[in-house]
Chain A
Amino acid sequence: MKPLTAWLGARADALIAAALFLGYLTLLVQTAGSLGFMRDEGFYFSAARAYGDWFALLWQSPTQALTPNVVDRYWAVNHEHPALLKSLFALSNRWFSGAFAQASLSFRFPAMLLSSLAVALTFVWGRRTFGRAGGLVAALSFAFMPHVFFHAHLACFDLPVSAMWLVTSYVYVRSLESPRWGWLVAAGLAYGLLLDTKHNSWIFPFAVGLHFALVQGWPLLRDVRGGAAWWRRIPLAWASMLLLGPSLLYALWPWLWHDTFARLREYVAFHTGHEYYNMEFLGRTYWKPPMPRGYAWLMTLGTVPLVTLALAAVGGVAARKPSPQRSQYAFWAVSVAMSYAPWLSDGTPIFGGTKHWMTAYPFLCLFAGLGFTKVVAAGQAMVPRLPRVAVATVAVVCVLVGPCVMTLRSHPFGLSAYTALVGGAPGAASLGLNRTFWGYTTQSLAPFINDSAPRRGVVYLHDTAPQSFAMFQEDGRLRRDLRGSLDIGASDVALFHFEPHMSRVEHQIWVDYGNLSPDAIAAFDGVPIAWAYRRKRSAK
């Protein structure tokens, strides 16, 4: 027994990290079947299928696959986003589709892996910095943010880019502490993968630069003034990231293999000049600048559990005190600041809700973990008779039970989930905060559709992408004899996913169906999210 106990003791943290990884992955896999498909997932499913066909061709006939026109034919699909995740979706679908009960899960699985990796790495970094209990609180606070849990399921890029930002940050900070070749090369490779994940990666160098200015600015200035070798302060990882990062992006994104600079310009132009979609905020629909500057802050307050924010605030204050970890605390702080920085401009679109700044959340939770250690210390001072482990255990339960319950209850309506600070989902609806977007709540209306649509009936999809509808059918969530359509007039059942600017769609249904009463409503916490109408036979 003793050797086993010793073995477990020596590897406790690795085992906890593994348990967090596997536990979260299992939870995501188990709950994915009840979560519908977002518009964007539909587009990425299509892209992944195209890329998967190219991988198959590459395997069978490499010469043919590598000719420029063949590369372009397969990789032109959805070329406004880098290739890494869609390539992983494609390979996962090809290799593992037989392993899952639903085809969609094979596409979603890589993003789930990365989301779980982010949870585990948050623990690892927290454990390394301020201890096991704090690390656990940091990791689980991140895992159990309702919007994080929602996005962690999806074959999209938002949680993966949070994970890759965290991985790159961790490796970079480790390379600063011990500039060995391993960490230096890893920093470059990690940044390359981050670049190939999503364009949030463009902000990462600013985080690195700001961190350097905060930590090394004054010493460097002193060196310059004193004629010392100031360049020795420049982190070697910068060279690695500068060389390996773009190289890896190029290598893993075949669309860039030809007309590279023109296509890079197009990629940048697409995102810097992205069109403004509609988004409701405090009762007003925004579709063009100026966008509300308070959007990111209020949405964070309204969607991240208050206890997590309170702990993060405590941690943030504690991090200001001099300590050996100050450099990494500074990195956490600049990661949070840089993730939110685009929304300091009233020209930055807000259509994606909270997902665009989720790169900040692991760091926010690391601060929460740090704050937790201070809270436990204070708690123990209040009740000195209780053993520290008892105080910590009670505190862990107190700070995590709320986020866990709120998050699990929010499924599958993650985008509709709001905290008590804004009155929960009903309060948010009254305040005029966005209830849903992306048309994924079709899943909640699936029983009604399957029961009420006539044989070979037509379903008006509204905001659900046709590719997503096809996946509903491939998975067996919707009847395969049904046909999805974007023509209300041709439909037997019409869906309506609520957003104020989309009300005109419901008005068209009223006129065409001659009926103002929804036949089915999908609701979350008493708030209607999506509803459906069935055409009465005489009305067609």
Chain B
Amino acid sequence: MRSPSLLLGLVPLLGLAELGVHQYLAARPPDFADYAALAPQLVKLKQAGVPVVVAPAWAEPFVRQAAGSAFPIAELTRPDDSAFVGFLEVSLLGAHAPELEGFPLTKSQRVGEFQLSWRQNPKPEPVRFDFVSAVDAGEVEIFAELDGVRESCAVTQRSRTATGGLHGHVAYPRTRHECPGGRIVAVTLIEDQAYRPHRCVLTQMPAAGRIVLRFSSAPATARLVGFSGFSYFLERDEQTDEAELSISEAEQPLGGQRTAGARGWSRFELQRGGAPGPIEVSVRRLAPSAGDFCFALEAR
């Protein structure tokens, strides 16, 4: 029997084994041609309302590059996964999206280097009315309210899109509502606590008073599901409440949500049930230092 110290003689083989494994791992991921070959199939198989999820998530830019039309912005920047009936998972290297773990697999198909899997949401909560899209489509009246007096915030496309870069503000899009005092309301993107994007209504809060968004075309539903937050990168150290969002329907309060930057993108729910009517969303500042508040709201 050899002495264990003789086994040291095998250490150099570790170098060869490491090199072999390293080369294997480096060559394993798909290349640009593989993504290009996937694109037409993916676009063909993609159904509206069934978002594409790439696993592992780091490969998503490749799929977006090859098959951009498979990623409508409203799906890519969705508030959360609960509203959708299902997802189309594009999997490579045997990875699976952790967020789809509880969603049963209904169909799977191999396309080149990729596994396409349809995953069904066991309890979808379909959206009957998306308030963010309503703002985008101009189906909203927006006011700045001070001491009970309302001034209209007119929609404009005069300005150029403004961006703050890494340390600056989120994108202020060209299409925006301009309120007295230069504050704006517009549809933009903010990042959550995992730095993922969410499409939402940017509401710059006045120092005093509030911003009111009035929606007259929301259908009657059982409840409202909302999400609110600030740019997490900019406000992640803010522990105290910075903004308050209140919702009323037919002038009857439904409830509200207070938001602090450190809590990131937060979900809340409000029951409706009363007399249907115009829905008003009011946003007011709680902290003088609060930045750009953003919310999403859905009637489900």
Contacts and interface: CB of A to CB of B under 8 A. Distances in A.
Given A427-B25, A525-B25, 11 more contacts: A305-B18, A307-B18, A374-B8, A377-B8, A399-B11, A419-B22, A420-B18, A426-B26, A507-B171, A508-B189, A509-B163
A394 interface: yes
Interface in A469-499: 486-489
Interface of A: 285, 287-288, 305-307, 310-311, 314, 371, 374-375, 377-383, 394-395, 398-403, 405-406, 409, 419-420, 423-427, 429-430, 435, 462-463, 486-489, 500-505, 507-512, 515-519, 521, 523, 525-528, 531
B191 A503 contact: yes
Contacts of B76: 516
Given A375-B11, A379-B9, A508-B171, A487 B196 contact: no
A518 B64 contact: yes
Given A504-B166, A516-B71, A429 B171 contact: no
A306 B18 CA distance: 7
Contact of B165 (A401, A487, A523): A487
Interface string B9-23: 101111110110111
B88 interface: no
Contacts of B58: 429-430, 435, 527-528
A464 to B, nearest CB: 12
A314 B11 contact: yes
Interface string B266-277: 000000000000
Interface of B: 2, 5-9, 11-16, 18-19, 21-23, 25-26, 28-32, 56, 58-59, 61-62, 64-65, 68, 71, 73, 76-77, 93, 95, 160-166, 170-171, 173, 188-191, 194-197, 231, 233, 236-237
B172 to A, nearest CB: 9
Given A379-B9, A402-B18, A504-B195, A517 B161 contact: no
B195 A489 contact: no
Contact of B28 (A500, A517, A526): A526
Contact of A528 (B59, B71, B73, B171): B59
A510 B16 contact: no
Contacts of B65: 517-519, 521, 531
A7 to B, nearest CB: 33
Contact of B61 (A420, A512, A518): A518
A505 B166 contact: yes
Contacts of B160: 489
A269 to B, nearest CB: 22
Contacts of A501: 195, 233
Given A381-B9, A505-B165, A512-B161, A430 B56 contact: yes
A486 B28 CA distance: 36
Contacts of A518: 61, 64-65
A285 B195 contact: yes
Contact of A310 (B14, B161, B171): B14
Contacts of B19: 401-402, 405-406
Given A429-B58, A517-B64, A399 B161 contact: no
Contacts of B16: 398, 401-402
